Amino acid sequence: MEYRKLGKSGIEVSEIGFGSWAIGGNQWGPVDNRESVAALKKAIELGINFIDTADVYGDGVSEEIVAEAIKGNRDKVVISTKGGLFGHHRDPQREPVYDTPEKVIAACDNSLKRLGTDYIDVYFCHLWWDKEEETEAFMRAFEDLKKAGKVRVTGVSAEDFAYIKHFNREGNLDVVQVDYSILNRNPEKEVLPYLKENGIGVVVKGPLRMGILTGKFNSQTTFTDTDIRQNWPQEAWFKESLAKVERLRPLTESGNGGSDSLAQLALRFVLANDAVSVAIPGAKTPQQVEENASASVRPLLTTQERQALEELTGAALAG
């Protein structure tokens, strides 16, 4: 496993992390808590030290599973969690919930209890729409949480460039979590160059585009009623994404000298951008963890892969 610095924070993180949304419940298909714990332990065994979760994943269940998995290994992991969606994630048209620093601090305290630790390495604001009073509450709370030793570094999970700059207007934003993949290269235009220039750590969510870049879906795929992907098969963007994945598939065929799987190719693509600190693909089994971890190889992209990806996406690769 290769490691990188999380921006100017100086924290060393594995370039492949563990995304813990799927292990919090059945929103991403069936899940077995015992297997989730085994997957997390396998990740630590393989040198993955960055574990990302959130208070809203399974209404706290994901954080509790992480706590169970890291017992006895707290010093080996960098815990990342997020606050800001509890209380209104089911109703976007709501009144501000986190409108005071005290409410943000209370949310962080609840995460600390569920995680079974007295400090969080990376604490994110999980709001992706701009309600000014809540943004201000988080920014003020972040400073108090750092001073109290409850969190080491703070950041925002967001894609909107103007919002990221607004959050960093005082120059004290440590980390940003952003959606970035072969199928979503929008961050390359403004967000990633800005974060690199300002020494802000970059945590990439969605590097496998919610499973699409694993190549396991096709036009006949269906999802359960509890799965957040249940309506995908009827949506045009999903069908277009499947077609792009099929164009990527030859890059994994024997003799091309590149990745062994589409997932590894997708992860190596993200890591090839030198603004990125860590990619956090989701995993529910030890086998998935092993495949994700194996993407940490050099060179990240072969000449063949780079040229093919440029042709597919119609853009020069950054990094």
From the candidates 3, 57, 119, 163, give the one annotated as an active-site residue: 57
How far CA 177 is from CA of 71, 86, 154, in Å, comes to 26, 18, 11
Please give the Cα distance from 138 to 146 (Å, whole number): 12
Tokens representing residue 313 in the block: 């996406």
Pick the closest to residue 47 from 83, 13, 19 (CA basis).
Answer: 13
Residue 194 annotated among the catalytic residues of the structure = no
- The residue whose two tokens read 């460039």 is 161
Let me know how long the chain is: 319
Contact call for residues 88 and 128 (beta carbons, < 8 A): no
Please give the Cα distance from 300 to 265 (Å, whole number): 9
Show the DSSP H helices in 116-178 as ranges.
Answer: 132-147, 161-167
DSSP assignment, residue 27? B
Contacts of 163 (CB under 8 A, 6+ apart): 128, 130, 156
Contacts of 246 (CB under 8 A, 6+ apart): none
Gyration radius (Cα) of the chain, Å: 19
Q: What are phi and psi of 225, to 5 degrees?
A: -65, -20
Please give the Cα distance from 258 to 301 (Å, whole number): 7
DSSP assignment, residue 219? T
Please give the Cα distance from 9 to 152 (Å, whole number): 9
Catalytic residues: 57
